[in-house]
Structure 1
Amino acid sequence: MPCLEVQLNRLRLKNPILVASGTFGYAREMTAYAEFSQLGALIPKTVTPLPRPGNPPPRTVETPSGLLNSIGLDNDGLDAFIAKHLTALLGLGTAVIANIAGKNTAEFVQMAQKLSEYPGLAGLELNISCPNVSGGVDYGTNPKMTAEVVAAVRAACDLPIIAKLTPNVTSVVEIARAASDAGADALSLVNTFQGLVVNWRKRQPVLGNGIGGLSGPAIKPLALRIVWQVAQAVKTPIIGVGGIQSIDDVMEFLICGASAVQIGTANFYNPTLATTLVTQLASILEEEGCESVTDLVGTIQPSTVARLAAQSCQTAKSSV
């Protein structure tokens, strides 16, 4: 059988199929549906230093081929996460990557130091990109601030660091370079796109917070474009996120440059998808004659039209 293991710098996973933060709860909710031990990694919902009530309801609304959410990082805080959930998560037979968010660099560092005391945790995903709250997550829109928080967390603990980046900037590549240069072991690309749904009869937004984050199949072409662009600009491994709901989607992210993927919105309507994809990935790699999943990463080729245009341009230059 082909090897499914992936190495994301200091983070080694048994396969590249992960479940995204905020879409899998704390795993207990998925016990009846998922074979946790088959997953490459599980990322529970974002945790903040202190409890957060989240944004006012309604918090979610379906859109064509997508989901708009404005949860607002609703959680019980780091201490409650450790007391109520962490031990159970670490006993599920797969890698667990904690997703953390803080209002400033000091809070990110404090959370990282505290979580690093618990053996068995595979890594940290820094949520510097949530579109539904203000504060520390705005770090992801500024290269200098991104580098600051990544470097500080990297220096404060020995856990592998994943920077989860926002697409809501002019150039994700610039932010990705900053995170990479600061020592991120991997980049999660991307978080949700800001969007708005309105009820024109009421003259009001549908979500209680107004603007929300769009996820689901509608954003896949946009996420693929960003993965492709960043993969050409940095050497840091990429985890592709955005609208994945089939093995073909997984393959598309891999050839565009992602070394792993996260399943997000699809978990809500197909909670068995992630484990199914692991089996399907092994089969398709065998069909393709690949010895390892890494054989496929970044193998996208220019289109025939683009190649012919490049060849024509080169010929023209040579004849001058």
Structure 2
Amino acid sequence: MALLSVSLRTETSSGNLHEKRAEVFMCDNVDIAIIGGSGVYDVNLLDRVKEVDMDTPFGKPSDSITVGEHGGTKVCFLPRHGLGHRYSPSEVPYRANIFALKKLGVKRIISASAVGSLREEYAPLDIVVPDQLYDRTRLRKSTFFEDGIVVHMGFADPFCPQMSKMIVDIASSKGYSVKEGGTYVCMEGPQFSTRAESRVYQTLGFDIIGMTAIPEAKLAREAEICYSMIATVTDYDVWKDEDVTIEVIIENAMKNEVAVRDIISGIIKNIPSERACSCKDALNGAIATVHSMIPDETRTRLGPLIGRYMEQ
């Protein structure tokens, strides 16, 4: 159990936020985290709400983390781009975000993401639960493991199958148009694709396109956190000879807000206590460096990630 100093802003009976300093024991505190845009964060979903301001060895997360309860399940929300959408996709502090969630005890992450469609049958306002990723980024740090430690982690199936199946089942049961499976190609951004790029991605067999799943999914796997996505289609990218604008994307993302919140609520209510997947043991056998040769400073810094393996 780790002791972490944080700043808490708790909700009073009048609805105002009261800030105080506290020493909080962080271990198995939060069951599930939602990462996404501001439209997903409906505080009315949660009881006993507080905001937690954290530091990590990789800097501060995108913003303070909202923590609360929903039907007895502890849930936290993190705005990927920060409140007000301050961080470009390449500037998001992904490592700080995932490390902070790990320190909060998070076991599962649902990413709520707006995407473009590369297939006619994946129409705007559809929901896609992808099962594969293709990395086209080039400017982002995609691992926690450096400074004297090497980890070669399996990443063949980047999304948690248990969580993804639950998302599909719940979305379908609620009558939403949901597509199961598909490959998400992650581009660098922040510019949208050229028509040539969009058509090449189609030729390569990709299904949806976005800018944020990498390195988020890789880091979640390194942190042994289950990671799945609710991808909401906002447009057909530019392969269909239609211009893509931020206005169109925001308009369609807003239309899907209610659906995303409804699905998330269903997941929280039905989340199993045990994880029946390999995500929880992703580092088992993956640390290539002889343990005795890992620098003490690195061991300490990465303690929340590798501590249980260093004791073996």
The reply to whether TM is greater than 0.5 is no
TM-score, with normalisation over the residues of structure 2? Answer: 0.28
Higher strand share: 2
TM-score (normalised: structure 1): 0.27
Of Structure 1 and Structure 2, the greater helix share is in: 1
